[in-house]
Amino acid sequence: MSGLAVLFHQDGRPADESAVQKMLAAIPYRGPDGTCVKSFGALVLGFAKMAVTPEDDLEQQPVTSSRSGCTIIADARLDNRDELLSRLSAGLEPTSGDAELILHAYDAWGLDALARLLGDFAFMIWDPRQQRMICARDTSGQRGLFYRADRRSFAAASEIHQLLQDPSVPIVPNEECIRDSLVPLNMFQNDKDQAATFFEGILALPAGHALVVDREMLRVWRYWELRPPRELRYRHDEEYAEHYRTLFYQVVRSRLRSSRPVGALLSGGLDSSSVVCAAQELYRLGSAKYHGFISLSSVFSGLDCDERPLISDIQAKYGFSARLLSCGKLGGRLQPEPRGFMEAPNMGVNEVRNIVFGAATEARVRAILTGDVADACVGGSRLVFDSLLRRGQVRSFWQHLTKYDSLSEEPLRKTLVFHVLAPLLPLAAQKRLMTGYTRRVIGGYGRRLLPPWMPGGLRDDLSQRHLQLWLALECKRRFSSPSRESEYRLLYPPEVARHPVPWPIQIWRPFADRRLHEFLLAIPPEQKFAPHPVSDEFYAGSKLLVRRALRGIVPDSILTRTSKVHFGSASVNEVQRQWPLYEAVFGPSARSEIARRGYVDQDRFWQRLLDVRAGDDGVDVVYVTQMVGLETWLRTLLLPRARLTMVPSAGDGFLSPITGFAS
């Protein structure tokens, strides 16, 4: 997890090295192993090094090609190194760094090299032959890259606040982005990777996209997207499980390539448990080099979201070092006086993050595995009727349909038309049918998903945006299968992968690997979900393939869980503990930023907070939490610029800037 920065004056003016040095100084946690700035006249590259892999330890960036004269800086972990080394053997060694591999690939294949790279990466290449800068991000958006541009200059960096070090750059909230984040379709899923940011004029290079800028123009294009794969069918269920297990081990093994101890965020859920148990099996088999391993778990004493017994089952099975970190009595999302820069409103609870990543840093961990993205990746769907009919499994079809009808509030006729018959139509006909349904039903339903404590005009606007987003999705429908289509929409665009500032930690998400996505979209959807014989909860029947594949690897107490932990009690607890702050910011005599800007009705929102304090964690508690985060974020914009553009440390002060630069 290194840091990147570039400044390019397209009009030919010499670029100022000190401007790039300031951009690097804003991210000291990304450069514990040193920094380097290199000038090319109108362009300056800056690199902050944080070594994680053995190859990182040896590589010195920027790297310049002796063949082409091109220079690269990269924040990267390539997972197909062996393949690239075999095809680009000239001038490379088995210990060559990932940046050097990318540069050799560009020398050999030009822009076609981008689609041949597998892993997590963001990089910048200066090509002096064509006087152009190439920037690219990996297909799952695991490494960030932001930029700003005008007619004279282009600047890009790993994080937004690096671009704000230039005092001439205005800091203005992106109201369109804020409103889009409040649309029901977006609210009830994790943030999606996109070009827009919450700062006007600052753009993100989207996942799977590349950018070329020269003296004449700036062009952004998609270089890769997941296309509907050819359907994969086996004779027996165990063959799917074996294929998944082999592939999952391969994906996890790619993320154990560290020259330091590896950490893992571990709960009692199936997702993080799968990752941790797979890692332990790989170590046991000698398939990955062991440099130490530690799990980090947030525990909530006295709350129903505490999963300590299940965590203990995993630790007892494998015997690794485990840290249980108490997070039940910490502060929350509301910060009346924020201490510094925040990339977005929904950044979570700082104190929880600081405790977890602080413990990881003390253990010399620089890479942490998580189970993020698994719900979208392996969760499955109840809507598998069309697949069962196509395979002639009438008995299973009837079992699925009967169970679904007993749980659903929609009429059986509607289920048969839209979830059974429509998926059997040609895709073009299905698009027309679903578009008409969306206009009739979703258009009127969106407003009912919005809380009544929002102003009426805002609710109308968000309802209309909700409808337009649904219509756009239907126009882009790729699969006739509703389960495959919903899974694809959950996976792409990918979830935003934000860096855990201010810690020198890289988050590695095995379930974000596109190899898993391609396999899971190719297999019959009924392999991922089947009605549970006892429980009606969706979770009980979901992740069926994972449960089969990891028998004997993940403890049975986790594999057989029928319900998922919910953190509504933690949200209520947070409001109760911080009540004096809530009253000061949102109470009858206060005037909050979200009320002043028209996002809430002050009196109604205050009444809703009173209800939350009393224990009412209804469905709109998601919106309540989002609004509290938005209040904190809007208050950061009121800070003096010197504070607003710097990330606060985990303690009371700000991070010490980097003071030494190599050229």
pLDDT in tens, 111-161: 999 999 999 999 999 999 999 999 999 999 999 999 999 989 999 999 999
CATH code of 32's domain = 3.60.20.10
522 and 604 co-located in one domain: no
Whether residue 263 is contained in a domain is answered as: yes
pLDDT at 63 exceeding the cut of 60:
yes
Q: How confident is the model at residue 662, as a pLDDT? A: 57
In terms of phi and psi (left: phi > 0; alpha: psi -120 to 50; beta: otherwise), the region of 201 is left
pLDDT at 406 exceeding the cut of 90:
yes
Question: Which tokens in the block code for residue 228?
Answer: 């509907």
Pick the closest to residue 294 from 358, 249, 355, 359 (CA basis): 359
Q: By mean pLDDT, which of 62-71, 436-445, 513-522, 537-546 is the weakest? A: 436-445
pLDDT at 348 exceeding the cut of 80:
no
φ, ψ for residue 636, nearest 5 deg: -65, -30
Pick the closest to residue 478 from 445, 430, 407 (CA basis): 430
280 and 247 co-located in one domain: yes
Question: Which tokens in the block code for residue 507?
Answer: 């988050």
579 and 615 co-located in one domain: yes
Question: Which tokens in the block code for residue 61?
Answer: 């960036």
Q: What mean pLDDT do residues 296-303 have?
A: 84
Stronger pLDDT, 329 or 184, i.e. the higher one: 184
Instruction: State percent of the chain over pLDDT 90.
Output: 86
CATH code of 301's domain = 3.40.50.620
96 and 208 co-located in one domain: yes
Query: At 73, which helix (H) or strand (E)?
Result: strand 71-78
Dist. CA 327–CA 601, nearest whole Å: 32
Stronger pLDDT, 437 or 293, i.e. the higher one: 293
pLDDT band at 304 (very low <50, low <70, confident <90, very high): confident
Q: What mean pLDDT do residues 575-604 have?
A: 95
Dihedral sign computed on CA atoms, order 110, 111, 116, 118: positive
Q: CA 564: distance to chain centroid?
A: 20
Pick the closest to residue 282 from 265, 310, 312, 258 (CA basis): 258
Helix 568-577 to helix 579-586 angle (10° resolution) is: 80
Asked if 609 and 575 touch (Cβ cutoff 8 Å), the reply is yes
Dihedral sign computed on CA atoms, order 581, 587, 591, 594: positive
Helix, strand, coil percentages for the chain (3-state, nearest 5): 45, 15, 40
pLDDT band at 660 (very low <50, low <70, confident <90, very high): very low
Whether residue 459 is contained in a domain is answered as: no
Q: What mean pLDDT do residues 180-188 have?
A: 94
Instruction: State percent of the chain over pLDDT 70.
Output: 96
Q: By mean pLDDT, which of 331-335, 380-384, 626-630 is the weakest? A: 331-335
Pick the closest to residue 380 from 491, 512, 239 (CA basis): 491
φ, ψ for residue 12, nearest 5 deg: 90, -5
Q: How confident is the model at residue 288, as a pLDDT? A: 97
Dist. CA 239–CA 400, nearest whole Å: 22
φ, ψ for residue 293, nearest 5 deg: -150, 140
β-pairing verdict for 506-508 and 293-299: unpaired
Give the sheet arrangement for strand 119-127, strand by strand: 63-64, 71-78, 119-127, 132-137, 209-213, 218-222
140 and 18 co-located in one domain: yes
213 and 341 co-located in one domain: no
Q: What mean pLDDT do residues 350-359 have?
A: 86
Whether residue 553 is contained in a domain is answered as: yes
pTM: 0.95
Residues 6+ apart with CB under 8 A from 223: 111, 114, 115, 136, 208, 209, 210
Taking CA atoms, 92 is separated from 85, 87, 100, in Å, by: 7, 10, 8
pLDDT band at 354 (very low <50, low <70, confident <90, very high): confident
Q: CA 400: distance to chain centroid?
A: 32
585 and 512 co-located in one domain: no
pLDDT band at 279 (very low <50, low <70, confident <90, very high): very high
In the beta sheet, which residues pair with residue 299?
326
Whether residue 487 is contained in a domain is answered as: no
Cis ω for the linkage preceding 493 (within 30 of 0) = yes
Question: Which tokens in the block code for residue 567?
Answer: 């953190």
| Number of structural domains the chain divides into | 3
Asked if 236 and 531 touch (Cβ cutoff 8 Å), the reply is no
Q: Hey, what long-range contacts does 446-451 have (CB within 8 A, 24 or more apart)?
A: 446/184, 449/184, 449/188, 450/184, 450/623, 451/608, 451/620, 451/623, 451/624
517 and 608 co-located in one domain: no
Asked if 241 and 234 touch (Cβ cutoff 8 Å), the reply is no
Residues 6+ apart with CB under 8 A from 615: 572
Whether residue 228 is contained in a domain is answered as: no
**Other CB atoms within 10 A of residue 586 CB:** 23
21 and 109 co-located in one domain: yes
Dist. CA 3–CA 114, nearest whole Å: 20
pLDDT band at 653 (very low <50, low <70, confident <90, very high): very low
Dist. CA 121–CA 500, nearest whole Å: 17
44 and 156 co-located in one domain: yes
Return the C-alpha torsion angle 381, 387, 389, 391, nearest 10: -140
pLDDT at 661 exceeding the cut of 50:
no
188: exposed, middle or buried (Cβ count in 10 Å: 0-12, 13-18, 19+) = exposed
Q: What mean pLDDT do residues 20-28 have?
A: 97
Dist. CA 565–CA 85, nearest whole Å: 44
What range defines the domain where residue 632 resides? 568-644
pLDDT at 446 exceeding the cut of 80:
no
Whether residue 231 is contained in a domain is answered as: no
Residue type, 34: G
For residue range 365-399, list pLDDT tens digits in order.
999 999 999 999 999 999 999 999 999 999 999 99
Whether residue 390 is contained in a domain is answered as: no
Return the C-alpha torsion angle 585, 588, 594, 597, nearest 10: -130
pLDDT at 663 exceeding the cut of 70:
no
Q: What mean pLDDT do residues 87-107 have?
A: 94
216 and 305 co-located in one domain: no
Pick the closest to residue 10 from 137, 156, 168 (CA basis): 156
For residue range 449-478, list pLDDT tens digits in order.
899 999 999 999 999 999 999 999 999 999
Whether residue 554 is contained in a domain is answered as: yes
Mean pLDDT of the chain: 93
Pick the closest to residue 105 from 54, 158, 65, 152 (CA basis): 65
Asked if 374 and 520 touch (Cβ cutoff 8 Å), the reply is no
Return the C-alpha torsion angle 567, 572, 575, 579, nearest 10: -160
Dist. CA 34–CA 661, nearest whole Å: 8
For residue range 511-562, list pLDDT tens digits in order.
999 999 999 999 999 999 999 999 999 999 999 999 999 999 999 999 999 9
pLDDT band at 569 (very low <50, low <70, confident <90, very high): low
128 and 57 co-located in one domain: yes
Asked if 52 and 366 touch (Cβ cutoff 8 Å), the reply is yes
Q: How confident is the model at residue 72, as a pLDDT? A: 98
**Residue holding tokens 């192993």?**
33
Asked if 374 and 491 touch (Cβ cutoff 8 Å), the reply is no
Question: Which tokens in the block code for residue 56?
Answer: 């990182």
Dist. CA 251–CA 226, nearest whole Å: 17
Q: What mean pLDDT do residues 167-182 have?
A: 97
**Residue holding tokens 């369109």?**
176
**CA–CA–CA angle 478, 120, 495 (5° rounding):** 50
Stronger pLDDT, 301 or 329, i.e. the higher one: 301
Dist. CA 310–CA 556, nearest whole Å: 10
**Other CB atoms within 10 A of residue 363 CB:** 18
Residue type, 651: G
